[in-house]
Structure 1
């Protein structure tokens, strides 16, 4: 992981997420990209000669704020990573999607309100829209979360889908931090056959020799209860889940780990897309080459 993209509206939640992202960037000596999105102006009236356009003045003010923030972050972190700033116009998710591809971003880090059950409040928020629309891993940081290293990470899986695309995103992101990774399955009913899944997981993990990957099963009455039980008994710094291609409201009623976890997490949550932009670009390039050939 080298490039982190973080949006800011200069609120306390955004500042907390930036602090979290800065500490990640510091550890990997990477790059932090800060972006503020200005909505398109509505009801524009002609500007008189000699009068500064208010939209232009507003953008200049935010550019200056971003530059001040950039200098502060670099000073506070001993210039251990680069910082770039952008003030864009348009919906935030569009700005984030464009910058993610342009700068080959590895992960988006953003804040949201709340602590326990904070993802209950995601509906209609920028965080949810970006999870749905931007094909990049998104780390959502609750307002109360603080960066305490990355010694142990849990990836919650229902073992009912193809895991490769998600793990091939997760393991490279975690590799610089060398954490222990628990691939967690909650056994709510009868025993599941996880042999085939385990072989796939270990084959992918073998490409990242600095990671210790284990498959864990927890017996519980429900997925949510199992996740709570696991996180109560096991100190983890991050929970990762797969975001499958389905309507979010549908997902909330789907009995998958991802859906249940969305109502129970009080830790930073890493959402992994089913179609990451790099995979989409790779397939497009392959089709283009085949067509030319």
Structure 2
């Protein structure tokens, strides 16, 4: 892991993500890219070549550049290679395109607790960034003074299509020397016996060089509640799951489960695209 992208709208929630990014960067010698998406009002965007809009646009960009430079000078970022970027684009398009074009290894976003991603990533942008990003996305829910992820839960149905994403997850877990808790959530609509689920998981992990791990099935009324409750019972530091891109999530994560987890979890959430 060499380059971390952190979108910021200059709120305290983005600052919490930057602080976590700083801890990771110092520990693993990474560069941090701070990116601010300058989403202009529609009427200004439509008249971007008009006589009165350009001075206002330049003023907004100048202010954003100044604010990023002030952030760069914060003591906790001392010694880290920081790149500042301001783009005129929507949040999702700007973040996703920059990540693809610049070999970003991890995106870190701040979140406004159970209310969802903060103003820079509201509405459909939350779903788009989390579900569609080719780059792993780490969502920070609260201020974390010591980002220590020694205990991780990875929730999955362990289907073959998740194998590539699972290897990326293992690389991340090994980077932090984390214990891995694998879990399959069984609901009334997706029930598997414990023996059947264990067989699927055992055959799945046989293809990987596994760190210390456990596997369990967990029964709950829905998948989201199952993951959250299991994570709380195991006192894990991080919740990890896979997303399925533009066609929504795979049959294990259907509907809006990814967005619900990001919004309702109190712990950090990490997603990998299948």
TM-score range, shorter chain: 0.7 to 0.9
Please, which moves more after superposition, 129-138 or 175-184?
A: 129-138
In structure 2, stretches of 5+ residues that fail to align are none
User: Cα RMSD over matched residues?
Assistant: 3.2
The 1:226/1:260 distance shift into structure 2, 3 A limit, reads same
Equivalent residue number for residue 208 of structure 2: 204
Equivalent residue number for residue 149 of structure 2: 150
State how far apart, in whole Å, the 1-side matches of 2:223 and 2:34 are.
Answer: 36
Equivalent residue number for residue 137 of structure 1: 136
Three-state SS of the structure 2 residue aligned to 1:203 is coil
**Structure index of larger Rg:** 1
Equivalent residue number for residue 229 of structure 1: 229
The 1:237/1:273 distance shift into structure 2, 3 A limit, reads same
Equivalent residue number for residue 67 of structure 2: 65
The 1:217/1:100 distance shift into structure 2, 3 A limit, reads same
Please, which moves more after superposition, 218-227 or 17-26?
A: 218-227
Deviation at 1:205, TM superposition (A): 3.0
State how far apart, in whole Å, the 1-side matches of 2:192 and 2:96 are.
Answer: 41
CA contact (8 A) 1:202 1:213 kept: no
The 1:216/1:32 distance shift into structure 2, 3 A limit, reads same
Three-state SS of the structure 2 residue aligned to 1:155 is strand
Deviation at 1:34, TM superposition (A): 0.4
- What is the aligned counterpart of 2:198 among 189, 194, 197? 194
State how far apart, in whole Å, the 2-side matches of 1:32 and 1:253 are.
Answer: 31
TM-score norm. by structure 2 comes to: 0.81
The 1:145/1:125 distance shift into structure 2, 3 A limit, reads farther
Moved over 6 A (4+): 249-253
Equivalent residue number for residue 98 of structure 1: 97
Three-state SS of the structure 2 residue aligned to 1:184 is strand
The 1:58/1:232 distance shift into structure 2, 3 A limit, reads closer
The 1:60/1:225 distance shift into structure 2, 3 A limit, reads closer
CA contact (8 A) 1:110 1:127 kept: no
Equivalent residue number for residue 108 of structure 2: 109
Deviation at 1:256, TM superposition (A): 9.9
1:15-164 correspondence runs (5 A) = 15-39=15-39, 41-42=44-45, 43-44=47-48, 45-46=50-51, 53-72=55-74, 75-79=75-79, 81-115=80-114, 118=116, 124-143=123-142, 147-160=146-159, 162-164=161-163
The 1:129/1:217 distance shift into structure 2, 3 A limit, reads same
State how far apart, in whole Å, the 1-side matches of 2:34 and 2:256 are.
Answer: 33
State how far apart, in whole Å, the 1-side matches of 2:2 and 2:100 are.
Answer: 14
Equivalences, count: 262
Deviation at 1:160, TM superposition (A): 4.4
2:166 paired with 1:167: yes
State how far apart, in whole Å, the 1-side matches of 2:256 and 2:37 are.
Answer: 33
Three-state SS of the structure 1 residue aligned to 2:165 is helix
2:262 paired with 1:265: no
CA contact (8 A) 2:139 2:268 kept: yes
State how far apart, in whole Å, the 1-side matches of 2:83 and 2:263 are.
Answer: 34
In structure 1, stretches of 5+ residues that fail to align are 275-293
